[in-house]
Amino acid sequence: MLGTTTPAPDAATLDAVFFALSDGTRRGLLEQLRGAEETAGALARGFAVTRPAVSRHLRILREAALVVERRRGRERVYALQPERLATATAWLETYRVFWAARLHDLKSFVESLPDDDEPPAPARTPAKTRKRSAK
């Protein structure tokens, strides 16, 4: 991805995508849709939540443009729309470059430290002195 320029996504788009990805059930739905398109009923069978709950999750994924819905007779069929995931990937990529530079700086720092084979001596605590009472 380095060297390519993609338009920066607007804040609302990023918010919608990251909100949609923030839930494990929604990530599971996306995983199921990686293989092929599915009906809402077929998707619901793979989860321990109610079918209306799966429909709500699918609505959030649709609003984030991570899935598309089309009618096939009386059924609604859902398909993954992976292009929108690229917006999140592009945003995260800017931080990958940042962390690579920070890790390089850390490596340089560690390599500049003196090479001591012996571990540091343990810290000594002063011995407690007892006061002798005068008799």
Examine residue 128 and state whether it is found in any structural domain, yes or no.
no
Outline where the chain has alpha helix (H). Answer: 11-21, 24-35, 40-44, 51-63, 83-112
The confidence score (pLDDT) of residue 67 equals 97
Examine residue 17 and state whether it is found in any structural domain, yes or no.
yes
> 51-63 and 11-21 helices cross at what angle (nearest 10)?
150
The confidence score (pLDDT) of residue 2 equals 47
For residues 91 and 14, the answer to whether their CB atoms sit within 8 Å is yes
Q: What is the pLDDT along the chain (135 residues), one digit of tens a residue?
A: 444 555 566 889 899 999 999 999 999 999 999 989 999 999 999 888 999 999 999 999 999 999 999 998 999 999 999 988 988 888 888 887 777 778 888 888 888 888 766 666 667 766 665 566 555
Report the alpha-carbon distance of residue 135 to residue 124 in Å, rounded: 33
CATH number, domain with residue 51 = 1.10.10.10
Examine residue 54 and state whether it is found in any structural domain, yes or no.
yes
The confidence score (pLDDT) of residue 125 equals 67
Domain hosting 26: range is 11-84
Examine residue 51 and state whether it is found in any structural domain, yes or no.
yes
Examine residue 91 and state whether it is found in any structural domain, yes or no.
no
> 11-21 and 83-112 helices cross at what angle (nearest 10)?
90
The confidence score (pLDDT) of residue 60 equals 97
The confidence score (pLDDT) of residue 1 equals 44
The confidence score (pLDDT) of residue 91 equals 85
Examine residue 28 and state whether it is found in any structural domain, yes or no.
yes
**The model's pTM:** 0.66
Overall number of domains in the chain: 1
